[in-house]
Amino acid sequence: MLGVTDLPTYLVGLALIILLPGPNSLYVISVAARRGVRTGYAAACGVFCGDAVLMTLSAAGVASLLQANEMLYAVVKYAGAGYLTWLAIGMLRAAVGMWRTRHERIPASGERGAGVASAGSGDTGGTERPYRRALVISLLNPKAILFFVSFFVQFVDPGYAHPGLSFLLLGLLATLFSFVYLTALIFGGSRLAEQFRSRKRLSAGATSAAGALFLGFAAKLSLSSAG
């Protein structure tokens, strides 16, 4: 179909890959837990747009350019690692603040400010811009471009006259799977929000764990190679 081969295998592999935790999914569930379903979808849209750009770049041959140019790859890699580190530091600072105020009055369920802390520099709900932040997290990941081209190309018929259509179909399926997965995370995060609002120690612990994970993502990205 449109030059795509072995579609069932692709769908199984795609599902397994999307289920693996990463900075995008972690950020989306954090936003949903703090600010609700609507804002969670705003972050998810940033992920979708970022992935769409990376898929387009992969199909256009940018992955080959990154593999061939070590300097360019290093620039993108360290920029992405630095951004993830900045987000992690913001989370950890917010967790410290939560821990220090754990004995203060518990906010009412309608109040903001409780829950998993901002996945950034401690921004408040009105200044965070989840769409933009999720988009940047997606784009500053050169390994994602390499992944898309290396994974997609395995399921594209080399003899098909319009390989761009094959990449488009594979990309649309990836976006659909990602939408279903992020929707589950968004609604799950919203359900967790009440627990975070009433238990500051739990909220501080969850935020600390998220910050530590983002530091891990940054370290993994900074140590990666184009090969």
Average pLDDT over residues 175-201: 76
Cβ atoms of 193 and 33 within 8 Å: the answer is: yes
CB under 8 Å to 193, separation ≥6 — which residues?
Answer: 32, 33, 34, 36, 114, 115
Q: What angle do CA 100, 43, 153 make, to 5 degrees?
A: 125
Closest CA to 204 of 118, 103, 106, 96: 96
Tell me 6's DSSP state.
Answer: -
pLDDT digits (tens, 9 = 90+) for 97-110: 767 766 655 444 34
Q: Which residue has the tokens 């998810």?
A: 44
Residue pair 118/91 in contact by the 8 Å Cβ criterion: yes
What are the pLDDT digits (tens) for 63-118?
666 667 778 777 777 877 787 787 778 778 877 876 776 665 544 434 433 344 44
Using CA atoms, how far residue 188 sits from 41, 155, 161, 177, 181, in Å, is: 13, 33, 43, 17, 11
What mean pLDDT do residues 20-46 have?
Answer: 84
Is the pLDDT score of 121 beyond 60? no
Q: What is the pLDDT of residues 192-216, one digit of tens each?
A: 665 555 566 666 676 677 678 768 7
pLDDT of residue 117: 42
Joined tokens for residue 97: 């603040």
Task: Give 52's contacts (C-beta < 8 A, 6+ positions apart).
Answer: 171, 175
- The two most distant CA atoms of the chain are separated, in Å, by 67
DSSP symbol at 156: B
